Amino acid sequence: MEAATSNPSSKRIALVTGGNKGVGLETCRQLASKGLKVVLTARNEARGLEAVEGVRRSGADVVFHQLDVIDPDSVARLADFVRDQFGKLDILVCVNAYLCFAL
């Protein structure tokens, strides 16, 4: 954890909730096309992984993390993942039917 935090990625990190379809998926594509590393989240893991594979076909730097925004434990796991892997979060885009908990 300290390595990521003490030496954050020079690449900007964007996280998109509800990123597996529609506006969320296109948001992931657009952010990735601008050179950002994108964390695509979705409640359904299979659909999220399928979306990530589709975005990666264009050469995008995108990873998946399962997230249910109405489950505080799920949000906490995502926050831990972002902190441990990247040490920072530059952009948060909430594209889902629920309000997002604070990361």
Cβ contact 53:65 at 8 Å? no
Task: Name the residue ranges covered by the structural domains of the chain.
Answer: 2-94
pLDDT tier at 96, thresholds 50, 70, 90? confident
Cβ contact 75:69 at 8 Å? yes
Asked if pLDDT for residue 34 goes beyond 50, the answer is yes
Six-digit token string for 25: 């998926």
Residue 41: the pLDDT is: 98
Mean pLDDT in residue range 50-62: 97
> Residue 51 is inside which H or E element, if any?
helix 45-56
| DSSP state for residue 101 in the 8-state scheme | P
CATH code that applies to domain 2-94:
3.40.50.720
Asked if pLDDT for residue 99 goes beyond 70, the answer is no
- pTM of this prediction? 0.85
pLDDT tier at 2, thresholds 50, 70, 90? very low
Six-digit token string for 103: 């990361």
